[in-house]
Structure 1
Amino acid sequence: MNILVAGGTGFVGSYLVPELVERGHDVTALARDPSEADFPESVELARGDVTAYDSIEGAFEGQDVVVNLVALSPLFKPSGGKSHTKVHLGGTQNVVNAAEEHGVGKIVQMSALDANPTGPTEYLRAKGQAEQVVTDSGLDYTIFRPSVIFGEGGEFVSFTKVLTTPYVTALPGGGRSRFQPIWIGDLAPMLAAGVEEDHDGETYEIGGPEVLTLAEVTKLAYRAEGKSVTVLPLPMAFARLGLTAADPIPFVPFGSDQYRSLKLDNTVSNNDIGAFGVEESDLTTLAEYLGVEDRP
């Protein structure tokens, strides 16, 4: 198949594109700056910004499937004049329009757990509205809603380092927010299967093999460096005041949206990995990835 991967040079795309090539597909990676991509020679590179329709429209010609991976991180405030609404909603609308214009048959959409047009954060609202654009289109579609993704090049582990300090640190609510992190090396083959197989009209929640609190993730991250950390609770009311005050400060990476995110669990209600022939025992834990055998 001819497959266009929008956001193909990003974290997830850098794993998915080689996976698709290995499976025998002709892949084009679309990105704002694809020049530094380290892909097999067979991969075509296309330059474009999904928020600017005219810059991407031509890349859709002759494609059978488009995979839309373009995203901003929910862990940090958007910068550079970007917004979740502009990138996730507006970008998805442009991807869908270009796909329909050029007769692309299918879209695989990267969404997020708890995506909802009326969700509590701009990120979740924009992701939910983007899902509506996809499901209302004339395209066959498969939607993935993963929990946080970890792996080389990912932000999840480094996020805990930005948020904390070694040895003694404070976390909002004591770091009780729960995550179900999945390794990119496990997720990429499922995404590829979503491209190849008949999963049309399906939305899949994807999580890893264990649920970890933010405090547990923090301890694992520092333990992998040979350090320990004691987590002290920061009252959520203080966190709300501090992060809300940080909204207009450009060099502070967190704001009120991140505060609201930390009040939410990021776990699946039903892990749909079985749709791709995978069991939880097949998946890599965060501790295994970090080289730490036991849970904190």
Structure 2
Amino acid sequence: MTILVTGATGRVGRHVVDQLLARKAAVRVLVRDPAKADFPAAVEVSKGDLLDVDALRQALKGVTTLFLLNAVAGDEFTQALITLNIAREQGVNRVVYLSVLHADHFVNVPHFAVKSGAERMIAAMGFSATILRPAYFLDNDVMIRDVIANYGVYPMPIGSKGVAMIDVRDIAEVAAIELVRRDQAEGHLPSETLNLVGPDTLTGEDLAALWTEALGRPIAYGGDDPSGFEAQMASFMPKWMAYEMRLMAERYVSDGMIPADGDVERLTKRLGRPLHSYKAFAERLAKTG
């Protein structure tokens, strides 16, 4: 019984692989460049990407369970639909899909709408699936650490409603638990959707206060206007993607990214430990400079 992990070289995917190996699962990964895939010897490496039909057929051959993670891209929806079709063609009917919290509500944000569409396809095709809907990755804030440290400003437009930021290690561990559970099941388990959230729902002012405490000097919240954030993102990513990030930030400000009742308790129980906090993340980054 083999689990195929896509997106395996990314922040979440790499942790998923490690968590699966810790659970003695048979793991295969699909990567564009095997020469750069530094995985343990126990991991089977398959070359290709989610638009390479022949490579997908080969990678999915003999697989029992699929972890589908595809990053924000202009052709993200096509990648997801092709992969799911090839998975069904190859007899794979167990899927864990990495979606996003409020995928069905933030419909003007392209990658949210894409993931909502993929969720609908998974349901319509009859997969035995766990849909994981993570909130904002707190690890994303590694990208703005220098702005915080050098300019004394937390620049991400989070707003005052609150966002339940989650650590990628928690996402990956839940994903591994679900992959193994579905892979080892004797029959077709009912599909399930899990909201993946952090232990605290934080506003922009809350985040500035946490950084103030971690760094030992005042850090201000940069405010709710996403214009500066979009310009900053556009300095190192395509402009269409920076605009998409702006649209996402606008929804954080207008709606927040707030857990449903019981989400934190369900995740804590499933993991058997407390969730990683933003406070610990900020303290760790502050110490490492």
TM range (shorter): 0.7 to 0.9
Task: Find 2:172's aligned residue among 188, 209, 213.
Answer: 188
**2:61 aligned with 1:65:** no
**2:85 aligned with 1:97:** yes
Per-residue displacement from partner, 1:227-273 (whole Å, max 9, x unpaired)? 53223436x3xx459959x98x9766864322221122222224166
**Bigger strand fraction:** 1
| Runs ≥4 residues deviating over 6 A | none
The question of whether the paired residues in 1 share the 8 Å contact of 2:50 and 2:56 is answered with yes
Per-residue displacement from partner, 1:269-296 (whole Å, max 9, x unpaired)? 241662673489711211123337xxxx
**2:144 aligned with 1:160:** yes
In structure 2, list runs of 5 or more residues that go unmatched. 183-188, 285-289
What's the CA shift for 1:125?
Answer: 0.8
**Bigger helix fraction:** 2
**1:1-296 alignment, distance < 5 Å:** 1-72=1-72, 82-83=73-74, 86-87=75-76, 89-116=77-104, 119-150=107-138, 154=139, 156-161=140-145, 166-169=150-153, 171=155, 175-176=159-160, 178-197=162-181, 200-218=190-208, 220-221=210-211, 224=214, 227-233=217-223, 236=225, 239=226, 243=230, 255-264=242-251, 265-270=256-261, 271=263, 274=266, 277-278=269-270, 282-291=274-283
TM-score by length of 1: 0.78
Residue-pair matches, total: 272
TM-score by length of 2: 0.80
Matched residues in 1 for 2:60 and 2:265: separation?
Answer: 29
Matched residues in 2 for 1:183 and 1:157: separation?
Answer: 11
Distance 1:54 1:182, change over 3 A: same
What's the CA shift for 1:22?
Answer: 1.5
Matched residues in 1 for 2:61 and 2:154: separation?
Answer: 51
In structure 1, list runs of 5 or more residues that go unmatched. 73-81
Aligned residue for 1:95, secondary structure, equals helix
Per-residue displacement from partner, 1:165-185 (whole Å, max 9, x unpaired)? 744448576843632122222
The question of whether the paired residues in 2 share the 8 Å contact of 1:167 and 1:230 is answered with no
